[in-house]
Structure 1
Amino acid sequence: MKSLFRPIALAFAIAVAGVASVAHAQEFKIGFINTERVLREANTAKAASAKLEQEFSRREKELNDLGNSLKAAGEKFEREAPTMSESQRAARQRQLSDQDRDFQRKRREFQEDLNVRRNEEMSTFLDRTTKAVKAMAEQEKYDLIVDQAVYINPKHDITDKVIKALNASSGK
Structure 2
Amino acid sequence: MKAKFVVLAALLSALLTTGVEAAELKVGYVNTQRIFRDAPAAQKAAKKLEGEFAKRDQELQRMAKQLQGLQENLEKNSVTMSETERRAKEKEFGELSREFQRRQREFREDLNLRQNEENAAVIEKANKAIKQIAEAEKFDLILQDVVWVSPRLDITDRVIKALSDAK
**Match for 1:115 among 112, 120, 136?**
112
Unaligned runs of 5+ in 2: 1-15
Q: CA deviation at 1:150?
A: 2.7
* Structure index of larger Rg: 1
Give the % identical residues. 42
Q: What SS does structure 2 have at the residue aligned with 1:146? A: strand
Q: How many residues align?
A: 151
Q: What SS does structure 2 have at the residue aligned with 1:82? A: coil
Q: Distance in 1 between matches of 2:70 and 2:91?
A: 13
TM-score of the two chains, using structure 2 as the length reference: 0.84
Match of 1:132 in 2: 129
Match of 1:6 in 2: none
Give the root-mean-square deviation of aligned CA atoms.
1.7
Q: Distance in 2 between matches of 1:74 and 1:154?
A: 54
Unaligned runs of 5+ in 1: 1-17
Q: 1:162 aligned to 2:167? A: no
Q: Distance in 2 between matches of 1:143 and 1:135?
A: 13
Q: What SS does structure 2 have at the residue aligned with 1:116? A: helix
Match of 1:58 in 2: 55
More helix by share: 1
Runs (4+) of structure 1 exceeding 4 A deviation are none
Q: CA deviation at 1:91?
A: 1.8
Residues 36, 119 of structure 2: 8 Å contact kept: no
Q: Distance in 1 between matches of 2:145 and 2:52?
A: 32
In structure 2, the CA distance between the partners of 1:115 and 1:22, relative to structure 1 (3 Å rule), is closer
Please give the per-residue CA displacement for 1:12-58, whole angstroms capped at 9, x wherever unaligned. xxxxxx98x7417x711100111111111111111000101111111
Q: Distance in 1 between matches of 2:20 and 2:120?
A: 40
